[in-house]
Structure 1
Amino acid sequence: MLKARDIMTCNVITVTPHTTARELATLLLDNKISGAPVVDEAGKVLGVVTESDLIFQNKKVHLPTAVAILDAFFFLESPTKMGEELKKMAGAKVGDICSQQLISVSPETELEELATLMAEKKIHTLPVMDNDRLVGVIGKSDIIRTIARRE
């Protein structure tokens, strides 16, 4: 059974929270990757930023649905969520637009679990961590390449 260590990219391209959105776009295009781990000065992984985060910045603003009852407005959606979306859309740096809910895998994670995690959580880039140390990254292209080589 193939595991993360068998298909991961070991030469990981990372960005910092201070990387600009333009620099990120250029980095992703130049390296033909769909995302990158975000690391601090000490190399600790803080999150992941992807092409989807850049695309999100250019979407239309979605105003939350509200109902007016007796001169009062009740939001049917979370105003907090709208605030977070506006912050992300206006973000100029990776730290403003990246996903900070880190989902990572170990080198021993099996291929089927990787594919399931990516599909169910809509993840494009998975950092591979060994004892809190970044040792690789798996993108959707790594999964697709593995499928193509097996047949």
Structure 2
Amino acid sequence: MVGRTMVVSDCMSRKVVSFDVRDDVGDVVATLLENKITGAPVLDKDRNVIGFISEQDCIKEMLNTAFYCDLTANAGDVMTHEVLTVHPGMPIAELAELLSSAKPRVYPVVDEGRLVGIINRSDVLQELYDASVRCHHLTDQKTAL
């Protein structure tokens, strides 16, 4: 790698779909599908991450809805309460190590307790690919001299 260390804030998305604990699971699913995302953080009124809701969290509830026409759950009922987050200053190499194992595919990015972005495997892979291309481009230029 050439230049400064790449960090999470270099490639995170600042526009984040998020939910409130009171949001209806059906509405959550519709939003996930509409935005083509697999999950999103659940926030309190101060934008603190208090949970994460994923497609997997919603499937059982949607199964009840599809077969029993009974949808009573909200995001707070089905979300994962113990959320793994990352800091915007975390080196991409460190996050790439986490993402290459069986950890979550998506991480909320939190600074001083508040949500500031979101980052997923594709974001990190794109940043690593771009750095690789830049590195090879510089190597090609040096060998041409």
Normalising by structure 1, what TM-score?
Answer: 0.69
Aligned to 1:68: none
Q: Give structure 2 stretches of 5+ with no counterpart.
A: 64-70, 134-145
Identity of aligned residues (%): 31
Q: Distance in 1 between matches of 2:55 and 2:122?
A: 14
Aligned residue identity for 2:56? S
Q: Distance in 2 between matches of 1:142 and 1:91?
A: 35
* Cα shift at 1:45: 1.1
SS of 1:52's partner is helix
Q: Which moved more, 1:103-112 or 1:121-130?
A: 121-130
Aligned to 2:97: 116
Q: Decide which structure has greater strand share.
A: 1
Aligned residue identity for 1:114? L
**Alignment match of 1:40 (pick from 44, 53, 60):** 44
Count of residues in Structure 1 that have an aligned counterpart in Structure 2: 121
Q: How does 1:126-145 map to 2 (within 5 A)?
A: 126-145=107-126
4+ residue stretches of structure 1 with deviation over 6 A?
Answer: none
Q: Decide which structure has greater helix share.
A: 2
CA RMSD of aligned residues (A): 2.2
Normalising by structure 2, what TM-score?
Answer: 0.71
* Cα shift at 1:124: 2.4
Aligned to 1:100: 81
Deviation string for 1:72-124 (max 9, x for gaps)? xxxxxxxxxxxxxxxxxx97211111111121111111122212223435312
